[in-house]
Amino acid sequence: MSSASLSDRKGANPLLKGIHKTFHLPIRYGLLDAGYDFKAIYQQLHNVNAYLKEYFQLNNVRH
């Protein structure tokens, strides 16, 4: 749970890391909407070997 004011950008990486660390579950796929279109999130998904379809990786990824 998070507050309504927490952006997707700030909440995604701690959630991804927490799932992996706490539950030891692999993250296999990344299917994200535009609210998650940030380089750091793509990098975290890449770090855990998640599969991202090319058409979800937008050319104008925000930093």
Q: Is the pLDDT of residue 60 over 80?
A: no
Return d(Cα 30, Cα 38) in angstroms, integer: 13
Return d(Cα 38, Cα 34) in angstroms, integer: 9
pLDDT in tens, 18-45: 887 898 888 888 887 777 888 888 888 8
Q: What is the pTM of this model?
A: 0.67
Tokens describing residue 34:
């535009």
Question: What residue spans of 1-63 are helical by DSSP H?
Answer: 8-23, 39-47
